Amino acid sequence: MAADAQFARMNGLGNMILVVDMRGRDDAVTPAAAVALNGDPATRFDQIMAVHDPRIDGTDAFIDILNCDGSRAQACGNGTRCVVQALAAETDKQAFTFQTVAGILNAVEHSDGTISVDMGKPVFEWNRIPLAEEFFDTSRIELQIGPIDAPVLHSPAVLSMGNPHAIFWVDRDPMGLDLDRFGPLLENHPIFPEKANITLAQVTSNTSMTTRTWERGAGLTLACGSAACAAAVSGARTGRTGREVTVTVASSPGRGTLRIEWRDDDHVIMTGPAEWEWSGTLDPATGVFRRDDGGASAL
């Protein structure tokens, strides 16, 4: 029987992350293990970042990303920062290149402890996001929640940041809107054949905005890095902001902000913090875990 894997409980702006060290192993964290881990209050998470041996030359690791419902995700910016912090502490390296199912990610830890991740290029073509029907202009599509003559949310910008996003613009604090009710309906709307991350975004200046996200496969989350990138790109694309903004996550006050730059070469750079909480070992097949300080799984 394979030995348990080391893991760390971390967070990126409150986005709950489990970084699992699967290097040197042939197995994987199973969907059943993910569901079991999420079911224990001690290990409840938004994403698991399972770090495997590199599969292609020139990369430091392959990252398998799982949501709390056991489904697999293509991208997780906040989780990538957590992986960088964990590996930087282990190796004394500052720059890393990762492979994910969405492509290659480059990341670097700065001297102040913040971490920048190159999230790649946004995708605007309707069939690559993907959408179920053609829209010539994906900066504003026909989709709304609420009465036809007085919708609560409407006309989102849609794009992919390695995973599909819909950004709804609001003119008040996103915490004042019932995203836990609207989120599941919009995530599973037929227009999104692979579901979508749903974000409410309030522009507060040419260089700042506030967001709140219902995350595909995870539900309401304290933070979502790829959603912050999608909102920042959409703000610039629609003329609401410039190409560099500070994003405050409404559901995670006091944990800092994300700085998003949509560079002239079309790459989106996300910079923000990561935080280690505690570590332990777990069975990747079942999710049974033990904390290094002696705490055990409730399973």
Q: So which residues are the catalytic ones?
A: 76, 224
Residue 60 φ/ψ region, left for φ over 0, alpha for ψ in the -120 to 50 degree band, beta for the rest: alpha
Q: How many CB atoms lie within 10 A of CB 151?
A: 13
In this structure, are residues 95 and 108 in contact, taking their beta carbons and an 8 Å threshold?
A: yes
| Parallel/antiparallel/unpaired status of strands 197-205 and 244-249 | unpaired
Spatial separation of the C-alpha atoms in residues 80 and 92, rounded to whole Å: 17
Phi, psi of 143 (to 5 degrees): -160, 130
**Closest alpha carbon to 50 in 72, 42, 32:** 72
Query: Which value, to the nearest 10 degrees, does the dihedral of the CA atoms of residues 136, 137, 140, 146 take?
Result: 0
Could you tell me the end-to-end alpha-carbon distance of the chain, in angstroms, rounded to an integer?
19
